[in-house]
């Protein structure tokens, strides 16, 4: 009789809490069906509370605790020590769950503009309080959860650009990931042609998708896209094309106790075709050493190089395979203006050889005269990386009505990032511009 009463109370508690979550999710802009899914609903209430990270941890801990409890229930424990340890572990999980639930509910009452006294009431009388908050129109959130619906985002071009045989063609429809229960669109609707011999600046604020864009273009992380370099499809012919693309990360991976010559020799072994002769291989190494001004220090240890020399060696390692597409992520990081200028002049010379050079730098205005074009990525209203402009540098100033790359960046950055928050305006303006050209 007592067991039936207990089970009945648990069922009533579950129903009340589910109805409360359902109504709160409706107010916050979360899909309501998550209210009936255990663990998922606690994660989604954390979205309403703007405490997503706490919701993740609560969900993981709850799942591990459930597995642990299931295993312990199926095992007959006789050793007192193991029983005590299991009890301590179970109590630890319970305490951790309470801590994270308190943090989530603290964020919830803040988002609903209510006193913190409600947190204690939620923890102690959760079903009744959650139901009351869900049903009462007096309790409304200040901020809603960002919707997965992209219908309200800036308009798209929605049309591929034609492939060019003498350059890079990028047609990215979408790059998305599934993050727990939500689909996140990282990039959308990016179309362009970059001719051979062009040096291109990749500009965008934090989270605008610069790295995601580069990973998609190089095939490192494939998107819903078609990327061609000349007549070759990078995705379909990746094994053949990977050595025709050079990527220099911000941080180098060189061993400090190797010589410059040995470092470049190892790179040549990895990146040059296996059927190349020993003489041809050495000739290529000597040429790259000379090209990057490293011949005089070829016998020096990497750890003894200056910052500029070390960066040039890092670039030379990728350039050893003579790639058609050369991408660099902040190659001037940590370098002073004079050294950085000299480095970018070498990159300009590489582009003048007929290569495509794409560069990310946080100080573009000091070397902008060396670039042909600029790609401007911006986060739209849905926090998705979008193309706000691609074209000649001098036309970019007119397009944005600004006189520097830094001013352009501030224009498209979100207001909470200190910008003007005009990303959607220029995404749509560029889409209209491209639609006229493509159409």
| pLDDT tens-digit map of 225-274 | 999 999 899 999 888 887 889 898 877 777 888 898 898 888 888 888 87
Phi/psi for 374 (5° steps) reads: -135, 135
Average pLDDT, stretch 113-122? 91
CA–CA distances in Å: residue 16 to residues 35, 49, 94, 103, 320: 11, 20, 22, 22, 66
| pLDDT tens-digit map of 85-108 | 888 888 998 899 899 999 999 999
Asked whether the predicted pLDDT for residue 3 surpasses 80, the reply is: no
pLDDT band at 348 (very low <50, low <70, confident <90, very high): very high
What integer pLDDT is reported at residue 326 of this predicted model? 93
Instruction: Spell out the domains of the chain, with CATH numbers in brackets.
Output: 2-135 (no CATH), 167-438 (3.40.50.300)
Average pLDDT, stretch 175-184? 82
Asked whether the predicted pLDDT for residue 2 surpasses 80, the reply is: no
Average pLDDT, stretch 333-349? 87
Q: Does the reported pTM lie above 0.85?
A: no
Helix (H) / strand (E) containing 54: helix 52-73
Least trusted range by pLDDT, from 3-17, 196-210, 284-298? 3-17
CA–CA distances in Å: residue 430 to residues 3, 52, 224, 372: 67, 34, 21, 18
| pLDDT tens-digit map of 265-298 | 888 888 888 788 888 888 998 998 998 888 988 8
Asked whether the predicted pLDDT for residue 150 surpasses 50, the reply is: no
Hey, how many other C-beta atoms are within 10 angstroms of the C-beta on 392? Answer: 14
pLDDT band at 151 (very low <50, low <70, confident <90, very high): very low
**352 or 70: whose pLDDT is higher?**
352
What integer pLDDT is reported at residue 5 of this predicted model? 65
Nearest in space to 45 (alpha carbons), one of 115, 124, 126, 137: 126
| pLDDT tens-digit map of 367-385 | 999 999 999 999 988 888 9
What integer pLDDT is reported at residue 147 of this predicted model? 60
The CA R_g of the chain, rounded to the nearest whole Å, is 28
Catalogue the E-assigned strands of 65-166. Answer: none
CA–CA distances in Å: residue 263 to residues 218, 268, 287, 310: 24, 9, 15, 11
Phi/psi for 210 (5° steps) reads: -60, -50
């Amino acid at each position: 009789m007592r067991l039936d009463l207990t089970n009945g109370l648990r069922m009533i508690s579950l129903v009340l809490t589910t109805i409360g979550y359902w109504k709160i999710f409706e107010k916050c802009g979360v899909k309501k069906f998550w209210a009936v899914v255990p663990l998922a609903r606690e994660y989604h209430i954390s979205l309403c509370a703007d405490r997503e990270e706490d919701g993740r941890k609560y969900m993981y801990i709850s799942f591990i605790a459930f597995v642990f409890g299931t295993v312990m229930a199926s095992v007959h424990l006789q050793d007192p020590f193991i029983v005590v340890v299991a009890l301590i572990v179970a109590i630890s999980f319970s305490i951790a769950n309470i801590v994270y639930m308190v943090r989530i509910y603290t964020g919830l009452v803040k988002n609903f503009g209510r006193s913190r006294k409600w947190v204690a009431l939620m923890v102690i009388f959760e079903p009744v309080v959650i139901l009351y908050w869900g049903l009462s129109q007096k309790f409304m959130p200040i901020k809603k959860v960002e919707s997965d619906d992209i219908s309200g985002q800036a308009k798209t071009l929605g049309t591929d650009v034609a492939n060019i045989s003498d350059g890079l063609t990028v047609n990215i429809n979408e790059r998305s990931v599934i993050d727990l229960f939500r689909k996140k669109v990282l990039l959308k609707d990016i179309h362009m042609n970059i001719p051979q011999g062009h040096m291109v600046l990749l500009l965008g604020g934090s989270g605008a998708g610069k790295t995601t864009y580069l990973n998609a273009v190089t095939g490192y992380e494939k998107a819903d896209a078609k990327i061609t370099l000349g007549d070759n499809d990078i995705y379909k012919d990746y094994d053949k094309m990977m050595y025709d693309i050079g990527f220099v990360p911000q941080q180098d991976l060189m061993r400090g106790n190797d010589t410059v010559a040995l470092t470049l020799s190892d790179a040549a072994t990895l990146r040059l075709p296996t059927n190349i002769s020993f003489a041809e291989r050495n000739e290529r190494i000597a040429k790259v050493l000379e090209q990057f001004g490293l011949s005089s220090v070829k016998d020096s240890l990497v750890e003894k190089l200056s910052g500029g020399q070390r960066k040039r060696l890092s670039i030379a390692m990728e350039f050893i395979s003579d790639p058609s597409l050369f991408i660099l992520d902040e190659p001037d990081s940590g370098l002073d203006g004079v050294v950085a200028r000299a480095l970018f002049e070498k990159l300009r010379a590489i582009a003048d050889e007929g290569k495509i050079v794409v560069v990310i730098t946080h100080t573009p205005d000091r070397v902008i005269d060396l670039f042909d074009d600029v790609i401007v990525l911006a986060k739209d209203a849905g926090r998705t990386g979008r193309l706000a402009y691609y074209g000649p540098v001098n036309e970019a100033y007119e397009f944005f009505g600004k006189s520097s790359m830094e001013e352009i960046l501030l224009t498209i950055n979100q207001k909470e990032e200190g910008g003007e928050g005009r990303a959607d305006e220029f995404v749509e303006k560029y889409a209209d511009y491209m639609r006229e050209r493509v159409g």
